[in-house]
Amino acid sequence: MRPVSGSGRLVLAATPLGDVRDASARLVDALGTAEVIAAEDTRRLRSLASALGVTLSGRVVSFYDQVETARLPKLLEALHEGQTVVLVTDAGMPSVSDPGYRLVAACVAEDIRVTCLPGPSAVTTALALSGLPSDRFCFDGFPPRKQGERLRWFAALATEPRTCVFFESPHRLADTLADAASVLGNDRRAAVCRELTKTYEEVKRGGLGELAEWAAEGVRGEITVVLAPAETRDTPPMETLVAEVKQRVAAGERTKTAAAEVAEAAGVSKKALYDAVISKG
């Protein structure tokens, strides 16, 4: 492990999603005092600083996806020299579907202090506004762009017991929701959150089929989608299912066919039910 030669620290600073009044006092202080500010978009950073009345006295460097790896050595060097590096992205929390993960991982590997200025996050804001269960949730980034991969992506969420939050481009939203409806059903509940905290904030709630029709008319702005968890079913006891299969077999059905249909309806293993029927004669 490389020895720490200074007391530098990396500060992950959450920035407003839209309304600059959501900026924390700590963010204002950090922007005004940091020796280095790594920004996903330097123009947006300067616009934010101007709106907050902050003078950026430190060195400003661009830090977006395409240059993230190339910028690491110089930023790590500054940190080892004892400087404070503040990382900001366009909106919300760095490293959450934004640049930052590689820098944090590098700092952890080199025993450099990493801290965070908590603040706005589109993920938790959308979750809170969705009206969907929030006791357990997962964040899944962006869906795949290609339809085949996207359909398989949604198939993996068919039995997901947690509420799922993901981002999507407004240009792909209609196709994404249509694919979700085709895989998960028109009635699976969801919420589309658009332009959070901004002037034209909108939260559209409903079934996936309804939301796909709405999105087909065209949607603009930053999009966060919240998908309801899969509905859980109370599975009848195995003895009850075995009795149902035997009743159908007595009425003339083949054991294998009856077991398969009863198992599918109950959401249990076909083989397990069939074996249970056979074992009980």
Tens of pLDDT, residue by residue over 120-134, are 999 999 999 999 999
Give ranges for CATH 3.30.950.10 in the chain: 123-227
**What mean pLDDT value characterizes the chain?**
93
- pTM here is 0.78
Residues 6+ apart with CB under 8 A from 128: 134
Q: Which residues pair with 59 in a beta bridge?
A: 36
DSSP notation for 99-126? TTHHHHHHHHHTT-EEEEE----HHHHH
Give ranges for CATH 3.40.1010.10 in the chain: 9-120
Could you identify the residue written with the tokens 């706005």?
120
Structure confidence by residue, pLDDT tens digits, 215-258: 999 999 999 999 999 987 667 888 889 999 999 999 899 999 99
Determine contact, residues 37/31, Cβ cutoff 8 Å: yes
Q: And the tokens for 60?
A: 């400003």
What's the DSSP call for residue 66? G
Domain 9-120 sits in CATH at 3.40.1010.10
For the packed helices 147-155 and 173-184, what is the interaxial angle rounded to 10 degrees? 40
Average pLDDT in the 99-119 region?
A: 95
The domain over range 123-227 is classified in CATH as 3.30.950.10: yes
